[in-house]
Amino acid sequence: MADPEVNLSTTYDALIIGSGAAGGMAAHVLTSHGLKVLLLEAGKKLPIEQELRSMEWPYDNKYRGHLPPDQHSLTFNEYTIRRPPYGPGSEKSKHLRSYVGNSDYTKNICVDERENPYTGTNYAWVRARCLGGKTNIWGRLALRLSDYDFKAKDRDGYGENWPISYSDIAPYYDKVDQYLGIMGVKENLPHLPDSIFQRPQRLNCAEVMLKQSLQKMGRTLTQYRAGVTSEGLAHNKYRSRCYGRGACSRKGGCDIHAAFDSPTGLIYPAMDTGNLTLRTNSVAREITVDPNTGKASGVHFVDSQTMKDYHVRGKVVVVAASTLESARLLLLSKSHTYPNGIGNSSEHVGHNFCEHIMGPGVAGRAKDLVGKPSTLDDGRPGGFYLTRFRNLSEKHPNFIRGYGFEGGSGCEMFPSGTQVPGFGQGFKEEVRKNYGAYIGMGAFGEVLARYENYVDLDPVVKDKWGVPALRFHYKFGENEHKMAADMKETAQEMFEAAGFAILHVSDRVLTEGWSIHEMGTARMGNDAKTSVLNQFEQSHDVKNLFVVDGSAFVNASCQNPTWTIMALCWRSCDYLADEMKKGNL
Ligand SMILES: Cc1cc2nc3c(=O)[nH]c(=O)nc-3n(C[C@H](O)[C@H](O)[C@H](O)COP(=O)(O)OP(=O)(O)OC[C@H]3O[C@@H](n4cnc5c(N)ncnc54)[C@H](O)[C@@H]3O)c2cc1C
Ligand code: SF4
């Protein structure tokens, strides 16, 4: 794989900021159109196989997989009750991590919270500043959106419709499926369109019991639609097919790259075209503007190691730093021409910020499976997905939009249910007896996009590189809390209907941000007064500026966003390349 030298005296066809799902996809599409591209990534290129070590047994790890004692990862209470610098004792730790950076495997992938501060309302902001960003450790649930989401306003009158329909994006979902690989089963649901699936994983006994019971209620439980290749990808030499080694949930990532990650899925193949130059350790701090044309002219960035400042020129700037970081960068890019930040004449940058509410769920025991021999269920990239069933054909009296559940059951390396009382032989027998009978699920619901939920720049606090920090003004509203109450009730109801013994029902709503599904800070729309981007994720104000990550979403839907981020980005980059050829940029 060639790694061409960065040439700061040249003008690249395109500058891409960020190397996660969005930036990786932009690099793949633009380089395959023959554009000369420079990709700036704030973080390091980590030796990711040495981080994830999915074949390492827990007893071979000095800390049994936990964080080394000199590091601390934030807990629910620290996010929710305590304020930065958080709980007593945390000031003594050398590194402070988000709640996801809580293992020896993810600690270097997640940022040091002290180097990357943020302020304002409670928010569990999970960031991965390294090549590939969060795709190194994402949960891999790869779902499509439908016109129930794109045209949600037509159904319930709330918010705005997207400027596209499912038919516009469907061919691009197909391309993403085929280029990156996805496992799953066709269900023919109008609200959760099928992908072009590779061989699915199997459901286990308790999951099948739940599925059958749900069918009687007209609800659908399907195999986890994992952004994982089960059959391999002949066109990609950097990825392997899934060997079902079962370490996904234990290590948070896949070191043979069966699960999609942006470096092996997109960036290394893009580098093989000879058209991509990658510069890691490059923190973009401002998009510069040509005062004569009003167009973006380049990017100022700081080398994260030397702290030296550079400027690089590009004919087009493609922002893909992730929803919140992209908004931050647009707001940071103030100039005489754009005093509120580039692309922000609508004053909508940072606003309409939305995500998924999480927390309510249920744990139970399939009584018929107690005492049955253990089965080998450790070896799947995920369990099941229970699709949205609210506000489809009928209208719920208390809230609009919907939610789905992610869940699983079966015998995994670390058995569930070890909290039972007792010790010694009796305790072990009790755990073994119930081993394959535990089943649990938790909900993800749509948080409505609201103008008053927003982020801006903190006037005082800066990060390690001197860049103003992001400040949150964001809270769940009434619709979300009513939806969460319903999640809890339906979870319990569905487990009872399946004949499971209920062990625990949770109505605790997790801190804002917990879902790590951020969207909406530079939404698309047809009206330049109420949106930031057009349907091709192109700035209404600055025609050679594109923002191709979750920022562009108009609403959050309840489906996980990454597959849609990549399908939209592919569509936008095809358009960009076409416009460039026509001389329109
Ligand atoms: C534990 C976990 C589980 C998840 N599970 C799922 C799931 O099951 N399904 C799903 O759809 N999604 C899931 N997600 C979310 C998914 O990872 C994101 O939607 C996806 O990675 C977003 O892609 P992105 O390119 O916008 O951002 P990222 O992947 O975060 O990449 C952004 C990149 O930009 C870089 N960057 C940021 N600021 C700058 C700057 N100023 N200059 C230069 N570079 C910069 C960052 O370092 C990073 O590498 C999960 C995430 C996590 C962490
Ligand atoms: S189960 Fe498959 S995708 Fe998950 S870590 Fe193992 S090989 Fe990778």
- How many whole angstroms from 53 Cα to the centroid of ligand 1? 21
One-letter amino acid identity for 125? W
Alpha helices in 20-165 (DSSP H): 21-32, 48-52, 76-80, 147-150, 152-156
pLDDT band at 282 (very low <50, low <70, confident <90, very high): very high
Choice among 95-109, 259-273, 313-327, 484-498 with the minimum mean pLDDT: 95-109
Judge contact between 288 and 311, C-beta under 8 A. yes
**Cα torsion at 110, 114, 116, 117 (round to 10°)?**
130
Judge contact between 261 and 232, C-beta under 8 A. no
Quick one: tokens of 313?
């020129």
For residues 91 and 95, what is the distance between their CA atoms, to the nearest angstrom? 9
128 CB within 6 A, ligand 1: yes
Tell whether the model's pLDDT for residue 1 goes beyond 50. Answer: no
Burial classification of residue 328, based on how many CB atoms lie within 10 Å of its CB (0-12 exposed, 13-18 middle, 19 or more buried): buried
161 CB within 6 A, ligand 1: no
One-letter amino acid identity for 482? K
Q: Are strands 468-473 and 119-120 parallel, antiparallel or unpaired?
A: parallel
Residue 299's closest CA among 312, 309, 289? 312
109 CB within 6 A, ligand 1: no
Tell whether the model's pLDDT for residue 401 goes beyond 60. Answer: yes
Closest ligand by atom to 250 CA: 2
Residue 181's closest CA among 268, 239, 256? 239
Q: Mind giving me the DSSP string for 550-567?
A: GGG-S---SS-SHHHHHH
20 CB within 6 A, ligand 1: yes
Mutate to test the pocket of ligand 2, among 138, 183, 243 (most ligand atoms within 8 A of CB): 243
- How many whole angstroms from 21 Cα to the centroid of ligand 1? 6
| 319-370 pLDDT per residue, tens | 999 999 999 999 999 999 999 999 999 999 999 999 999 999 999 999 999 9
Radius of gyration of the chain (CA): 23
Quote the percentage of the chain above a pLDDT of 90.
86
Place of tokens 């394959």: 436
| 560-585 pLDDT per residue, tens | 999 999 999 999 999 999 999 999 99
- How many whole angstroms from 133 Cα to the centroid of ligand 1? 5
- How many whole angstroms from 56 Cα to the centroid of ligand 2? 13
Tell whether the model's pLDDT for residue 161 goes beyond 80. Answer: yes
CA distances from 122 to 13, 118, 272, 298, 369 (A): 40, 10, 43, 34, 42
Alpha helices in 21-85 (DSSP H): 21-32, 48-52, 76-80
| 479-498 pLDDT per residue, tens | 999 999 999 999 999 999 99
Residue 440's closest CA among 358, 365, 374, 380? 365
- How many whole angstroms from 514 Cα to the centroid of ligand 1? 14
CB count within 10 Å of CB 345 equals 18
- How many whole angstroms from 293 Cα to the centroid of ligand 1? 33
Mutate to test the pocket of ligand 2, among 254, 376, 413 (most ligand atoms within 8 A of CB): 254
- Index of the ligand 1 atom closest to the CA of residue 301: 42
Residue 250 has a pLDDT of: 66
pLDDT band at 246 (very low <50, low <70, confident <90, very high): low
Judge contact between 450 and 520, C-beta under 8 A. no
Residue 91 has a pLDDT of: 77
- How many whole angstroms from 113 Cα to the centroid of ligand 1? 16
pLDDT band at 377 (very low <50, low <70, confident <90, very high): confident
139 CB within 6 A, ligand 1: yes
182 CB within 6 A, ligand 2: no
Judge contact between 298 and 288, C-beta under 8 A. yes
| 6-53 pLDDT per residue, tens | 888 999 999 999 999 999 999 999 999 999 999 999 999 999 999 998
- Index of the ligand 2 atom closest to the CA of residue 379: 1
Question: How confident is the model over 229-234, as a mean pLDDT?
Answer: 97
CA distances from 284 to 279, 287, 519, 549, 566 (A): 11, 8, 20, 16, 22
Judge contact between 134 and 486, C-beta under 8 A. no
Judge contact between 335 and 328, C-beta under 8 A. no
242 CB within 6 A, ligand 2: yes
Quote the percentage of the chain above a pLDDT of 70.
98
205 CB within 6 A, ligand 1: no
Quick one: tokens of 150?
């794109």
30 CB within 6 A, ligand 2: no
- How many whole angstroms from 183 Cα to the centroid of ligand 2? 12
Closest ligand by atom to 98 CA: 1
Alpha helices in 273-423 (DSSP H): 323-332
Q: What is the mean pLDDT of the chain?
A: 95
Tell whether the model's pLDDT for residue 472 goes beyond 90. Answer: yes
Mutate to test the pocket of ligand 1, among 29, 138, 286 (most ligand atoms within 8 A of CB): 138
Q: Does this model's pTM top 0.85? A: yes
402 CB within 6 A, ligand 1: no
Mutate to test the pocket of ligand 1, among 45, 51, 134 (most ligand atoms within 8 A of CB): 134
Grouping H, G, I as helix, E, B as strand and the rest as coil, residue 175 is helix
Residue 442's closest CA among 515, 370, 379, 550? 515
Closest ligand by atom to 201 CA: 2
Closest ligand by atom to 260 CA: 2
DSSP character at residue 373: P
pLDDT band at 84 (very low <50, low <70, confident <90, very high): confident
End-to-end CA distance of the chain: give it in Å, rounded. Answer: 31
| 303: β partners | 282
DSSP character at residue 340: T
Which phi and psi (to 5°) does residue 483 adopt? -65, -40
CB count within 10 Å of CB 409 equals 28
Q: Are strands 309-319 and 296-303 parallel, antiparallel or unpaired?
A: antiparallel
Place of tokens 């990786």: 24
**Cα torsion at 23, 263, 261, 183 (round to 10°)?**
100
| 503-527 pLDDT per residue, tens | 999 999 999 999 999 999 999 999 9
380 CB within 6 A, ligand 1: no
Residue 192 has a pLDDT of: 98
Residue nearest to atom 8 of ligand 2 (CA): 254
